[in-house]
Every structure is written in structure tokens, then in C-alpha cells.
Structure 1
């Protein structure tokens, strides 16, 4: 039996995130298009070379992307929505991804059950595909030069999956297939002309809930023994790749008699081995066995893989002329590049961990080990297998179960999942005095270069923890002042101390490990560095109470306590493989439960427990859905049910399709749910209304993933559309998501428009909004005008100012503030926001400067 190896895709950002930084420079007009392409091509070609040098027989190429591979296929097929058609080239491509002034971006949602996001194609009856494959063909030509014609295997996103992932209005799947299939045929002709002899066509939708509906189109698309399919070429073999779950049985049975030459199955999720054993494997075809997990950072388990290889070979041996390819279960884009720079993981609490980790580079080596086992036998890879067994033995020896954690889990009862009273009874006790349509933000505020530099200095030991905390407190003061100035009703501290909403909490818990350079792409240029769960989880001390107390000391308005929920921490980490995900979620829930109790003790009356990843963790098979949702809901409730009636529990969810889990979202029993909506045309609100959702809802008023500042009028229309579906008493006003990735000027402008839009909806007379603006100016001038002599640089003036407000601050600091405010007041420098950042940890200074500076900014 012939045995070789293959890959289905590779990480895109570069070992040191070279593409990320190039993209962000390009968006800021710091580099040219040619310079961007140079960086992208360098990263892509280095990826190919690494795979070739590692011995991979069939290198999957063409999945590399400047933003998102689904967006790439919208671009290749010429299916940009009408609002983008006045643009072309890269301008059109990035406009679809990020939006431009007056043109909203495409919707964004999760790629199956992963933490990667794709841009949702928008199609309709008028959609008219037009081939635009030049950039794709250029990439394949470069691959042929680097990889060689005998190893280059272009990857195509299959038409069934592309359409299944699309939103289409006024058109059927059949009608759209008729339109797009000729373009795939054209592409195969072009590839054949380059000497390509095989392509991978990725159809992961054939494993999920839509597989049954899609399977009837397989003969039309790929052919049958009776008739040729549209995607069929006499010179090119088709490898139909599925992943993330067990293949639909009807699809597999069709494959047996189809013209498709090979099928790729994921043997790390679902039970594709049972499918093989039940139906056998057809003669004359090749199996792509996804035995190396493309979504896990753990080294292969020798016993598991040896058994799988043995059973797979038995099935294939029962048929004639079968071939076997050992490959990754999916693209490796879901794991970091390499463990080479993670030596610190072999010391201290994580001693022994590095030996059982495997990132993209290491998985290439594992491919060759498993290929040797499949081709020659276990003895051919004895050294590698023995080393893997030893590494796992060391890991388990150093990480035994923690008795206290296991005992507490065993003691959980049904009462631990229930709030003291139902929502209808506890709601009147919460946040008394809030106006109708209360305004808030989701949690994070912009992470400036100064904040990131401060964090780096702390990590390097260049500053003390006391100094770091003082600077963070200054930023919290500034954040509170800005929100006070805007007139927001429920405030946040802005999370300046947090690198990432999962990593921050993981760092506070025992049982997590952290990489130095373990970045993976989330969407576009955004990368995350998921922590690794390697042991039982314990909260040794409180995690967020200090920052809450600091923030609340600056304001009489309620400040949210900000937590990340147990399911999101789990789904956005690399979980253990030796215990169930449910057990890991419950361990996290108990840690968060203690944090909720401590926040309440600190007088926090609004606690937000974010669960943006609740939906993405749901299994792709409908038959597995209920079990997951049951324990996911229980994990959230275990975290929050300790809260008193008067504590308002908020949650936040975003960028998923929620229709198939609405009852679970209702069952988590949060008092307020702030949910992504800006790119979804109120579809999410209608889904909540359809199930009779009674709790408060905060549909996103604008898309924070776009740098475009939404006009006030646009937000007014959004709010008016909300109020056609929901009573005003049920609506909370907020952006779509946290504001961490935005810049301060666009953040302030957008929040200002959101608040003013809310005021206008509450009172359609524009005079109210105008009077609010005028009062801001008047209040600001009342404070600043006594401090406005001709020469603001006067040392005497600084002394007078210091005495007036009893501020023991250096003259240079006062000069900075006075200069900034004078410029703002006289319109000389309205964009000098960055100079306002060093707000000092002082209630007096907060009141005098942060609040009133914010007010004048929002007016002018």
C-alpha cells in the first residue's frame, strides 16, 4: 500500500507576526501595497519551504490570505455586494473586511466551532459571479517554483461550503450553484494549464447540520457514475477534504461511487474510524487520514495513533489498489508556529509540559513519524514513539489531580445553579434610578502604545509593580472621566491592565501555562495567544477587585465588575485532552463564582460575565448539541448564581449564529445580555423576540471592528428599529463589542454619537441634544476661564492653579494640562487627545480635568 503525507493549510501571520504588522502599517498608510505584498509573499514562501524541508509529500497551497480565505473566495468569484462595486482591487477587498466611510463591512462570524472568524458572503438573485483569479493563480505559480510541480496541491474552498456559509436573499442554493460552478470549471482549466495534477477541495460543511441538505448536490458538483460533475477534470485528481467532525454517512457512501479520487477525513474529532469500518473503503481511491490534530497544541498520543493506523490499514487492505496519505486533520492555522522559543515551559510549575506540546512545525515532524509507522511499521519510528511515551509519562507524573478541586466539584448541588429569585422578582431591586435606554460600553477601552509599553517594562523588571499599578490607576481615572463626560450611565474601568480577556484571568489562576510567541489568527490582523490548560484550576486570590474599587472611587455611577465566562475561557484556551471539557468548565466556574462573591463584598452592583464563545463551542453534529449546551449553561449559572438579587448580572455574546441555541442563552439567566447586532440587520433581536425573551437586551448599535465612526443619525435609526421589536424598558444601549482595538479619537466620537442618538430617541427634539452640548461647554469654561491668563507658561500661574485645587503636582505637569485645555478651548488643537492620557490618580484632578476635558472634546 502506497503511503505519503500531506498538509491542508498553514498559519498565515508569520513566526513573529510579520504579516500582522505589515497589514496594520498598510492600513495606516505607512507602507505601500507593493511593500505589503512583499511581506506576505515572504511569509507564504517560507511556509512552503518549511513543509518541503520537513518531507511533506503533498503541500496544500492557496489557503494563505491577507485577511480571510472565505473573503478571498468572495473576491475570486467577483461576488462583492453592490455597495462595494465602485471600489476595486485591494481597496474593495479591505472595504468588505473592515468597511469604509458610509459603507458597512460584511458580517463576521465564527468558522464552524473554531475561534477563527470569517467574513460572511452576501448573495442575492442579482448576484452575478465574474472570475477574478489572477492573485490566486499568481500564488500557485510561486508555489510551483518553491515547492515543485510534484508536491504542489492547490486548495480550493468548495462551492457547497462557500454557499452554505453565505447569506442569500431572494435566491436558492440551486440557482447560485448554477452561477458559480462555471467559474470553478474555469479555474481547473487554468490550473491544468500550469501542470497541476491534484487539488484539495475543502468542504467542511459536509460534516455538520447542513450536510444532509448539501449532499443531494454532490452529483451536480462533483459528478457520479452516471454523469460528469461541474468540478471534474480529466487531468486533475480531486481530493475532497472534510474536517472538524465525522463525515455525513450519505456523503461517504456517495464518495464510494463518485469520480473523486481521494477523500480526507478528520480522525481527531468525531468517529470517522467507525464510518470506515461500517462502510469499508472503495477500491482504487486514496484516503487522507487526518491523524495529526490541526487544532490542538498537544503532541500525538502514540497508543491512540498506533491503534488508529492499524485499524485504518485493515479497512483499506480489504479493497484493491487503495492508497493512504497521513495528514493534518485540518489546516494548521489554528495552532502557533513553533515551540522552539518556549523553553521557559520546561521549568517551575510547568516543568515537563514542553515535552508534550506540538505546534505547526512540530506537527510536520509528527506527520513523518506517523507516515513511517503506516508505511513500514512501529519499529521504523521506535525512537520517536518511545520519546513521546516518555514525555507523556513525565507530564502525568508532574501534574496529578488536586484533591481540593475534585472534592469541591463533587460537592456541587442543584441549588448551586440557581439565583435566589427569578428574574421578574429580582429585576426591580437592581440599578434603581437608571434612565430608560441606559447607555454603557461592553468593557474594554483602547490599549494605547503607552499602556503596552508599560506592561512590557513591568514584565522586563524595569519598573516596580507599585509604579505599574499607579499608572494603570491613572488610566482608569481617565477612562472614568471620559465616560462621565459623555454621560454614559453604567461605566467600565476600561481594562487597561489586561492584555487579553482570557489570558488575563488565566494568569491569575493556577493550572494555566503561557507561551512567549504562541500567537494564532482570530480575524484579519488580530492575533490571540491562547493559554494552555495543563492541570486542575485554582483561584489563589481575587482577580479583579482592586481595579473595580479604584474605578468606583472616581464616580457615583455604577461601575461594572468585568469577568470572562467559564465557557469562553475554555473555548479560547487550548484545553486538556485527559479530562472532559465539561469538567474543565466547571473548575473555571467555581473560580469565577468566588470572584463574583468577592466583587459583591466590594460593593459592586453590576457584574458582567462575558460568554462570546458560548455558541462556537457547540458541536457541529445536531445530535451532540444538547449535551454541550446543558453543561455550558450550567457552567455559567454555577459562576453567577451566588449573586444577590440586587446584583445585576450582565453577559456579552458576539459574532456567532445564535438561532440554534437561543433557549440556552435564555437559560443562562443573565439579567442583561449585550449582543452583537450591528452587522446582522436586527436578525438577532428578532430571534430573541421569537422565543419570548423577557430579560434586558443590549443589541450592538455600531460595529467596533471597523474604524468607521457611525453617524449619530445612523445610530438613531438603529435604536428606532430596536424599539419596533422591544419595549424601551428592555433595551440597553451599547456598542457591538469591546473597544480595545480602536483608537481613542474614533472611540470618543462613536460613543458621543451613541449617547447623543439615545438622547434624541428619548426626546426627538434636537434642542435637548443641543442644550446638553451647550451645558458641557458652559461647565468647562466655568472651570477653565479663571485659569486662563495671557501667559499660561508663567510659574506664578502654575502656583496659583496648584493652590486653587490643592494639587501637589509639578509645574511641568500643570503646564501640560493647561496647554492641552487651552488649545481645546480655542480650537487650536482639537486632535491632541493623546496628551490627555497621563491623568493622575487623584479624585480632584479627575473632576477638574478628565471630566471637563472629555466634555469639551465631545462638544467641539
Structure 2
């Protein structure tokens, strides 16, 4: 299956425009305030709010946010990660070999419950299949499944069991592969690997690529695999990342006002580009016109058939009404750009750069 066919499988049947810029989100979304309150009640031993009550609250929140994504008009939805607390901690609790010894300070007044790998990591029960099946049942639209990648799971943990982090990364990659196989069996066709640690340690792109080879082994070609890498100096990992076995790179560029856009123009960007077109670090809703301009910046790198539209990163730290506004305006902007592309009003001729291996 070609990259274009891989993307077009998510094109809605009632899509009016000839061009199709797939719209989606990276993953996290602001939790309803009452869900945080439900968690507090559940953790209070003196309160009668039990496991079933808390599960019902998470289910309700997942339905609510999935519906919010639909109302915003997104082509591919997630549940906003309503059942997840933190992107490493959530998975570490579900992988044999990890243990927790209390939070560590990471920056300012922020703390992270950083886990330790104290024995060989092993796969036990599925991590995300129930979450995926619930979201797929709650929505008529395709569902994307974000999953923290093995490099970040290793890099953001204390390694007390393996000779080095590379060995741990590859062991975790095999576990991620096992989980993705179960997700595929359950019907998932869009998987996003989150590797924020790559941008902070870019010299390790080779081990990330090797881990991805482990992850996609035996995964059918119709399953779309994306890689999300937020912030950082992309010039230190490009064009090497083009060798990664993924269909799509999801990159944070709006926050830097597209200063790094030139990085991806030469050599030729051969994968699909999921371009961040709204800044998740700014609690203001960009206008539709501004987002249209941002989308067109992506057309300087790839043709329309290789462009996906998304926010820079997860939007969980924004006020919920701001997050929704950004999503709704983003979808409207994408549809407007499609209309202009259909009418030939946007010049998409680009200088053809040399391939990466030249």
C-alpha cells in the first residue's frame, strides 16, 4: 500500500473536496474537572467511591472527549487519554520489571513519579486494547492509538537491570510490538509512537530506528505508523529519521514560529508530514486565517497528499475551551485550504530537492 493509500483510508465517505488533508490530534486533551475530583475521591480511603465508580467516571470522560473531537470535525479521533496519568508512568505500571519509589523533581515545582527497571521487563496483560475498543465503539470515526515508545520508556526511567539503555530499549520495543499486534487484531489501523526523549538526546537516533524496526516487524502495511517527536533541534536528526520504518512524522513547529522549516526542505521529505499548526503552549485560539497560513507552510515541504494537520503536541495543559477552539479552527482551516487547492488558488510548486541518499 502506498503512503497516499495509507492516508486515504481515513478519508470520510462524505468528504466534499478533491484534496484531503487528514486532521487529527497528537493525543492528550484536558480532563474534565470532575474527573480529577473523581480520582481524588477514589484515592481517599475514607470515601465510598470505589473502583466501579471511578471506572464509570473514566468511561464517561472518554465518551465526552471523543464526542468533543467529533464536534470539532476531526477526521481521526482519540479519547484524549482520559485513562492515562502520565506518558511513562501509565505504561510502567503495566510492564513487569518496573517499580516505583516515589516522585522526583524534574523542573520548577513539577514532580514526576519516575520508575525504576529492577528486573527483566516482560509483557503481561494488554495495555491499550480495552481503551481502543471502548473509543472505537463510542465513535463512528477512525481512532488513533498513541503509545509511548520504547526509547522514552527506557530513557525516562532508572535502569537498574540492564547493561545499558540500548539493551533496555530493544527489550521494550519487543513488548511494544506485542501490544501493537494485539491492537491490530482488535481493529486498530492508526498507531502513533511517541518518542519525546529523542529530541532531548538526538545523537541516539540510530537506536530509535533499530527499536522501530522491532516494533513494526510483522505489522500489516495497511496499519499506519506515525512517530511523534516534539520540540528539540530537528537538524540533529534530519535526514537520518527518513530511514525510520514509519509512514508519518508528527513534528512540533508552530511553537518555534516555523524557524526550523528549512531543515526539512533538503533533502526531500519522503514520508508523510503531520504538521503542528496550532501552538499548544499558548492559551489563545489562533484564527482560522492564521492556521491556514500555517498549513500552507507545510506545503513548502511536502505535496498535499503527504500532509496531515494536527496541533504541535498534546493539549492537556490548556483550558478545555481553548483546546476545543484550536481543534475546531484547525479543521475549518484545513477544509478551507482544501477548497483553495481544488480551485488552484494555492501555488504548490516546490523546488525538487535531492533524495536523501544522494
- Fold-level similarity (TM above 0.5): yes
Q: 1:664 to 1:459 in 2, by over 3 A?
A: farther
Say yes or no: does 1:647 pair with 2:223: yes
SS of equivalent residue, structure 1 residue 553: helix
Task: Give the distance between the partners of 1:459 and 1:507, measured in 2 at CA.
Answer: 16
Query: Within 1, Cα distance between the matches of 2:151 and 2:288?
Result: 35
8 A Cα contact 2:284 2:322, kept in partner? yes
**Residue 85 of structure 2 is aligned to residue 499 of structure 1:** yes
Query: Do 1:492 and 1:560's aligned partners in 2 also have CA atoms closer than 8 Å?
Result: yes
User: 1:522-533 alignment to 2 at 5 Å?
Assistant: 526-533=110-117
Report SS of the residue matched to 1:704: coil
- Tell me what 2:349 maps to: none
SS of equivalent residue, structure 1 residue 745: helix
Aligned equivalent of 2:130, options 546, 549, 554: 546
Paired position in structure 2 for 1:558: 142
1:733 aligns with 2:309: yes
d(CA) in 1 for partners of 2:70 and 2:33?
Answer: 24
Report if the CA contact (8 A) 1:511-1:534 is conserved. yes
SS in structure 1 at match of 2:206: helix
Q: What residue number does 1:786 align with? A: none
Of the three residues 492, 509, 534, the one matched with 2:95 is 509
Q: When the two structures are aligned, how many residues end up with a matched partner?
A: 332
Residue in structure 1 matched with residue 69 of structure 2 by the alignment: 483
Question: Which of 288, 301, 310 is equivalent to 1:712?
Answer: 288
Equivalent-residue separation in structure 1 for 2:296 and 2:96 (angstroms): 47
Deviations 1:647-688 (A, max 9, x none): 001121111101121133212221111111012333444322
> Offset of 1:460 from its aligned partner?
4.2
CA gap 1:485/1:681 in 2 versus in 1, 3 angstroms:
same
Equivalent in 339, 346, 352 of residue 763 of structure 1: 339
CA positional deviation for 1:713: 1.8
Q: C-alpha distance in 1, partners of 2:274/2:299? A: 12
**2:241 is matched with which residue: 657, 661, 665?**
665
Name stretches of at least 5 consecutive residues in structure 1 with no aligned partner: 1-423, 619-624, 766-860
8 Å contact 1:430–1:645 — kept in the other structure?
A: no
Give, in whole Å, the separation in 1 of the partners of 2:277 and 2:217.
29
Match 2:200 to one of 613, 616, 625: 616
> SS where residue 188 of structure 2 aligns?
coil
Distance 1:656 1:602 in 2: 34
Q: How does 1:6-155 map to 2 (within 5 A)?
A: none
Is the 1:652–1:673 Cα contact (8 Å) retained in structure 2? yes
Relative to the length of structure 2, the TM-score reads 0.86
In the other structure, the counterpart of 2:22 is: 438
The answer to whether the 8 A contact 1:427-1:671 is kept is: no
Q: Distance in 1 between matches of 2:56 and 2:150?
A: 30
Residue matched to 1:134: none
| Cα distance, 1:696 vs structure 2 | 0.7
1:586 aligned to which of 153, 170, 178: 170
Correspondence for 1:568 among 145, 152, 163? 152
What TM-score does the superposition give when structure 1 sets the normalisation length?
Answer: 0.37
Change (3 A) 1:733 1:425: closer
Shift of 1:577: 7.1
Partners of 1:691 and 1:646 lie apart in 2 by 26
Bigger RCO of structures 1 and 2 (CA < 8 A, at least 6 apart): 2
- What secondary structure does 1:542 align onto? coil
